[in-house]
Structure 1
Amino acid sequence: MEEPQRRIRAAHSESTITVYQAYSPEIGLPAVREGRFPAAWKRDRMTWIKPSFLWMMYRCGWGTKAGQETVLAVEITRDGFEWALRHACLSSYVHGVHPDRATWQRQLKHAPARVQWDPERDLHLRPLPYRSLQLGLSGEAVRRYADEWTVAIRDVTPLAHETHALVSGGDLDSAARLLPQERPYPLGNGLPAHLRG
């Protein structure tokens, strides 16, 4: 079955969805230990969460990029995730979705979340012809993410390194078996029109 151009794919349960982030060990390790983001974590900046493990691997270089050596799987409530989607604005202007550029700029300025659609990645981190969600959180959404939505934080850096080693060694089947089971995320009426971009 052909993948739609834009779809949210994620590891999810009845009540939670797993998203990925990567931080320096100074942020990542205390977050795992305490199950919440430490005081050093900046609440006043936008934070991007990614439901796609391989897109996160592309972004953090399998946990090797400076400041992104600790890869976190953050389990958050589906209620929180869906609140962010409802209150999100696309990160770029799209003719036909927004009435005009000025309206989009106003929406972007006030929205506590923004959606960006980036090419999904394969095991070699090459772009695929369909896109995956990145969700940027700021202001109220960052506070809710840290204080209300986060259920658990796991360190998946060993998984990143093991998968990368298998890919580098040419054992793609074994690498694929290690990947989190991401499947289409159920949104009642499909993707909201204002996020289709």
Structure 2
Amino acid sequence: MQEYEIRADYDARSIVVYQAYSKVIALPALAHHRFVPPFSLHRMTWIKPSFLWLMERSNWGLKSGQEMILAVRITRQGWEEALSQAVLTTYEPRVYHRYDDWEQQFQHASVYVQWDPERTIQGKSLACKSIQVGLSRHIIERYVQNWTLAIDDYTPRVRKIYALLQQGQMRKAKDLLPRERVYPVSASLARRLGMAR
């Protein structure tokens, strides 16, 4: 296991990212198979390929405004386009020559990347870091109009997994998790994202 890994459900053409929303945003998105108002193209949205990281963030869809869990299948081309423009949310000397370089890039970034500890199904932190990608208003329209292939409602699945966990049925709960594996990135992308040592 590497310190930085992008773990995801993906195939040759696409990758799944997860988002948690209220019904007001999620239901129209599901009905139209893409994000529509009141989803805003003018504010940042964060996408996460790690299912368990989002479960930790949304408390299994129990947090207010995060009751519905959406699995958004986007093109790998779009995903990598986003990563190729990403700027880390914190200064990292092995990525940026000087603090001023990072600060200037950060102020003009279209895409942000943040690394946080990956989680177990019980919510415990792992040594491996998981990626979050923030899409600013400068690129979010491409996410909505060009990259999104499908939006699925994972809320029932999340509720079932959570219920099994409450019942102590760990094995059954784990069997329902999405099948994630390490997503390959090029050497140049790894350097940009702070993954390279």
| TM-score category, normalised to shorter length | over 0.9
- Aligned to 1:140, the other structure's residue is in SS state coil
- Aligned to 2:179, the other structure's residue is in SS state coil
Q: Which residue of 2 aligns with 1:90?
A: 88
**TM-score using structure 1 length:** 0.95
Structure-2 separation of matches of 1:175 and 1:99? 45
Deviation at 1:140, TM superposition (A): 2.8
Structure-1 separation of matches of 2:23 and 2:137? 24
The counterpart of 2:71, out of the listed 66, 70, 73, is 73
C-alpha offsets along residues 14-34 of structure 1, whole Å, 9 cap, x if unaligned?
A: 100000000010000110111
Deviation at 1:96, TM superposition (A): 2.3
Structure-1 separation of matches of 2:111 and 2:185? 17
Please say if residues 83 and 189 of structure 2, whose CA atoms lie closer than 8 Å, have aligned partners that are also in contact.
no
Aligned length: 195
The counterpart of 1:118, out of the listed 113, 116, 119, is 116
Deviation at 1:189, TM superposition (A): 3.4
Matched, 1:147 2:154: no
Matched, 1:47 2:35: no
Q: Which residue of 1 aligns with 2:28?
A: 30
**TM-score using structure 2 length:** 0.95
Q: Which residue of 1 aligns with 2:180?
A: 182
Higher mean alpha-carbon deviation, 142-151 vs 164-173, is at: 164-173
Structure 1: stretches of 5+ with no match in the other structure: none
- Aligned to 2:128, the other structure's residue is in SS state strand
The counterpart of 1:10, out of the listed 2, 8, 12, is 8
Alignment RMSD: 1.2
Please say if residues 9 and 180 of structure 2, whose CA atoms lie closer than 8 Å, have aligned partners that are also in contact.
yes
Which one-letter code corresponds to 2:154 in the other structure? Answer: V
Deviation at 1:107, TM superposition (A): 0.6
Structure-2 separation of matches of 1:57 and 1:74? 15
Deviation at 1:44, TM superposition (A): 1.2
Deviation at 1:4, TM superposition (A): 0.2
Structure-1 separation of matches of 2:51 and 2:152? 13
Structure-1 separation of matches of 2:37 and 2:173? 35
C-alpha offsets along residues 155-194 of structure 1, whole Å, 9 cap, x if unaligned?
A: 1011111111111111111111100000111224374212
Runs of 4 or more, structure 1, over 6 Å off, are none
- Aligned to 1:162, the other structure's residue is in SS state helix
Structure 2: stretches of 5+ with no match in the other structure: none
Structure-1 separation of matches of 2:40 and 2:87? 22
- Aligned to 2:19, the other structure's residue is in SS state strand
Structure-2 separation of matches of 1:67 and 1:139? 21
C-alpha offsets along residues 144-163 of structure 1, whole Å, 9 cap, x if unaligned?
A: 10110000000101111111
Higher mean alpha-carbon deviation, 142-151 vs 90-99, is at: 90-99
Which one-letter code corresponds to 2:85 in the other structure? Answer: H
Structure-1 separation of matches of 2:148 and 2:104? 29
Structure-1 separation of matches of 2:103 and 2:42? 20
